[in-house]
Chain A
Amino acid sequence: MMEKAIIMAGCAIGAGLALIAGIGPGIGEGNAVAKALEAIGRQPECKGDVTSTMLLGCAIAETTGIYGFVTGLLLIFVAPGIFIGKL
């Protein structure tokens, strides 16, 4: 009983820590967009290139948050079953 509780608590804490990874991309994307707007304001003729590069950069940054989220989901829904099954 105690072992199950420790496993569940460990998984919950781990999931919470993994979801912290979701904070960074939001801040990073915001900063990237702000700088891209600055660049477009300076050189409006580069708008197409900057938009395209910013789009792919934001997509890559966002995946970091999704990695954390997937890890959190696995820790909440999948890992407890695996570890408790081994007891």
Chain B
Amino acid sequence: MKLQEATKRETLHIAVGTLAFSVIMNGVFVLLGKWDMTVLWGTLLGGGFAVANFFFLALSVQKLAAETEEKKGKAWMQMSYNMRMLATVIVGIVGVSVPCFSWVAVLIPLLFPRVTILAMQLLGMYKPEKAVVNNDKGGDESV
């Protein structure tokens, strides 16, 4: 499957944002004097999984964009969500129960994609495009 431009671009944005917030989180651990290797491994597991989860979501959405049947698309998306949530549960349980991972450092990066999207919106990276009005061709004015 060839990756669409939107998939690559958004995954890159999320990956960069997750990396930045992971560095900040590790910095906070260092400032609190609680940093050790378990925090680093936990960040790698949680942050890596968060980006991978977004990438698989993007692949699902890309595949669905070529779909024409709404019911089929809906069912596929719900199955995709279930599979990704199951993977999240496995990663979460491994992160909390295996001692070589810091559970805080595993669980917090799972929420970084949301924070990244919020940061991108605050930075004005997702402003809606201005509606194009074309009265000559009799087109409807976009709302």
Residues of chain A touching chain B, judged by Cβ–Cβ distance below 8 Å, are: 22, 25-27, 29-34, 36-38, 40-41, 47-52, 54-56, 58-60, 62-63, 65-67, 69-70, 73-74, 77-78
Give the residues in chain B near A62, CB-CB below 8 Å: 53, 57, 81, 84
Give the residues in chain B near A22, CB-CB below 8 Å: 85
Given A34-B70, A60-B114, A73-B107, the answer on whether A26 and B6 have CB atoms closer than 8 Å is no
Give the residues in chain A near B88, CB-CB below 8 Å: 66, 69
Give the residues in chain B near A49, CB-CB below 8 Å: 129
Give the residues in chain A near B36, CB-CB below 8 Å: none
Alpha-carbon gap, A78 to B57, bound state (A): 29
Q: Are B10 and A70 in contact (CB under 8 A)?
A: no
A-B pairs under 8 A by CB, number: 108
Q: Are B77 and A52 in contact (CB under 8 A)?
A: no
Q: Are B78 and A55 in contact (CB under 8 A)?
A: no
Secondary structure of the B side of the interface? Answer: helix
Q: Are B117 and A33 in contact (CB under 8 A)?
A: no
Q: Are B78 and A66 in contact (CB under 8 A)?
A: no
Give the residues in chain A near B103, CB-CB below 8 Å: 73, 77-78
Given A25-B81, A73-B92, A77-B96, the answer on whether A54 and B61 have CB atoms closer than 8 Å is yes
Residue B44 CB within 8 A of the other chain:
no
Q: Are A51 and B6 in contact (CB under 8 A)?
A: yes
Q: Are B111 and A55 in contact (CB under 8 A)?
A: no
Write the B53-91 contact mask toward A (1 if CB under 8 angstroms, else 0). 110011001101101111101111110011011001100
Q: Are A56 and B85 in contact (CB under 8 A)?
A: no
